[in-house]
């Protein structure tokens, strides 16, 4: 999943449009983009959309973002959408592995009630939406086989902190948010699930989005949340390994295959050893996943 496009669940027009936006996954939203008075209508629209599209042969993965565990709304959200078999649930305001286990048991009950395979529906948390949540980031590892990725959020965290803004004048994140971003990357990596970078809300600024994608890819994120169809192509391109990167990764692996007893080699004037092989293998795995999606 390179690009994951948010779609407000109460807009059948956007739900339709999103299907052909080129995103690897859609996140049909029942949470922050839906007014309290529109929740019930959105549940029905999301359920109908799932029922109409889930069997399509070629389609993006479809996740539903439900309301938080302590919202009083999540039971009705899950009751409405699980029978229609989404690929996954995005859990906002997540507070660690305990929350993943809690949601997992709710999913297991509904999978059984709907005759769906046990453990099929994935969970993707947004893990940094409150100050308290930052202290539980190490607990995602091993919490559930359902965990498919982990993302972070700066908007709700900034509301929790009560600061004035989360970005500096040059557009980059202020320190508290940079820490949250790094912790999300570490938490996802430690849990061996996809690290997904957060949204870029200025959806008319392609240059700013591209810069943020490049920084995310550089640091190890493998995908990014989108809020507008215009953002999808930029994100997909940024998180697909380039031909140059693939050639270089293959060269590293070939060089060690040809010298099985070497611990360290010089390639193109650079010292290459174990960590470089690991990195090359991971890049080729990412490229393979991107190719599999394209066919």
**Three-state SS for 195?**
strand
8 binds ligand COA (CB under 6 A): yes
CB of 250 to ligand COA, least distance (A): 37
List the interface residues with Mg ion, window 206-245 (CB under 5 A).
none
6 binds ligand COA (CB under 6 A): yes
Q: How big is the site for ligand COA, counted in residues (CB under 6 A)?
A: 16
Q: Residue 156 binds which one of ligand COA, Mg ion, none, with CB within 5 to 8 A depending on kind? A: Mg ion
Choose between 6 and 239: whose C-beta lies nearer to Mg ion.
Answer: 6
Segment holding 292, helix H or strand E: helix 274-294
Binding mask 191-210 for ligand COA (x = CB under 6 A): --------x---x-------
The CB density around residue 280, as the number of other CB atoms within 10 Å, is 22
**What is the number of the residue whose Cβ is closest to ligand COA?**
6
Instruction: Write b or e for each residue in 186-202: b if 16 or more Cβ atoms lie within 10 A of its Cβ, otherwise e.
Output: ebbbebebbbbbbbbee
Alpha-carbon gap, residue 88 to 54, rounded angstroms: 12
Alpha-carbon gap, residue 272 to 270, rounded angstroms: 6
Asked whether 3 and 235 are in contact (CB, 8 A), the reply is: yes
Alpha-carbon gap, residue 122 to 141, rounded angstroms: 15
Identified binder of ligand COA from the candidate list 4, 18, 42, 184, rule CB under 6 A: 18
Choose between 72 and 266: whose C-beta lies nearer to Mg ion.
Answer: 72
Look up residue 134 and give its DSSP letter: G
Identified binder of ligand COA from the candidate list 32, 40, 79, 233, rule CB under 6 A: 32
Identified binder of Mg ion from the candidate list 99, 156, 197, 212, rule CB under 5 A: 156
Backbone angles phi, psi at 97, to 5 degrees: -60, -30
**Three-state SS for 98?**
helix
Identified binder of ligand COA from the candidate list 7, 61, 196, 272, rule CB under 6 A: 7
Q: Which residues pair with 25 in a beta bridge?
A: 4, 61
Q: How big is the site for Mg ion, counted in residues (CB under 5 A)?
A: 2
Q: Residue 232 binds which one of Mg ion, ligand COA, none, with CB within 5 to 8 A depending on kind? A: none
Strand pairing category for 88-91 and 61-65: parallel
227 binds ligand COA (CB under 6 A): yes
Identified binder of ligand COA from the candidate list 229, 238, 240, 252, rule CB under 6 A: 229
Choose between 225 and 283: whose C-beta lies nearer to ligand COA.
Answer: 225
Distance of CA 32 to the CA centre of its chain: 17
Q: Residue 147 binds which one of Mg ion, ligand COA, none, with CB within 5 to 8 A depending on kind? A: none
CB of 8 to ligand COA, least distance (A): 5
Please say whether the dihedral angle defined by the alpha carbons of residues 52, 56, 58 and 64, taken in this order, is positive or negative.
positive
Residues that bind ligand COA (CB under 6 A): 5-8, 13-14, 17-18, 29, 32-33, 199, 203, 227-229
Residues that bind Mg ion (CB under 5 A): 32, 156
């Amino acid at each position: 999943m390179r690009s994951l496009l948010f779609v407000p669940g109460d807009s059948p027009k956007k739900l339709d449009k999103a299907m052909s936006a080129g995103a690897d996954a859609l996140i049909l939203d029942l949470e922050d983009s839906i007014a309290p008075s529109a929740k019930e209508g959105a549940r029905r629209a999301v359920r109908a959309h799932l029922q109409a599209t889930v069997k399509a042969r070629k389609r993006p993965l479809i996740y539903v973002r439900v309301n938080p565990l302590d919202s009083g709304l999540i039971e009705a959200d899950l009751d409405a959408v699980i029978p229609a078999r989404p690929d996954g649930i995005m859990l906002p305001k997540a507070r660690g592995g305990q929350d993943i286990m809690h949601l997992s048991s709710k999913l297991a009950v509904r999978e059984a009630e709907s005759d769906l395979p046990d453990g099929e529906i994935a969970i993707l948390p947004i893990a940094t939406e409150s100050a308290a949540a930052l202290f539980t980031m190490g607990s995602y590892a091993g919490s559930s086989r359902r965990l498919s990725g982990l993302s972070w959020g700066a908007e709700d965290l900034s509301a929790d902190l009560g600061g004035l803004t989360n970005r500096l004048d040059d557009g980059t994140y202020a320190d508290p948010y940079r820490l949250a971003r790094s912790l999300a990357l570490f938490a996802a990596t430690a849990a061996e699930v996809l690290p997904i970078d957060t949204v870029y809300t200025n959806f008319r600024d392609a240059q700013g989005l591209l810069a943020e994608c490049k920084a995310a890819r550089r640091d190890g994120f493998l995908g990014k949340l989108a809020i507008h169809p215009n953002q999808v192509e930029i994100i997909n391109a940024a998180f697909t390994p380039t031909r140059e990167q693939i050639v270089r990764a293959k060269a590293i692996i070939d060089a060690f295959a040809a010298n099985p007893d070497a611990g360290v080699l010089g390639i193109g004037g650079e010292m290459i050893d174990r960590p470089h092989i690991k990195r090359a293998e991971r890049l080729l795995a990412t490229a393979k996943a991107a190719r599999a999606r394209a066919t």
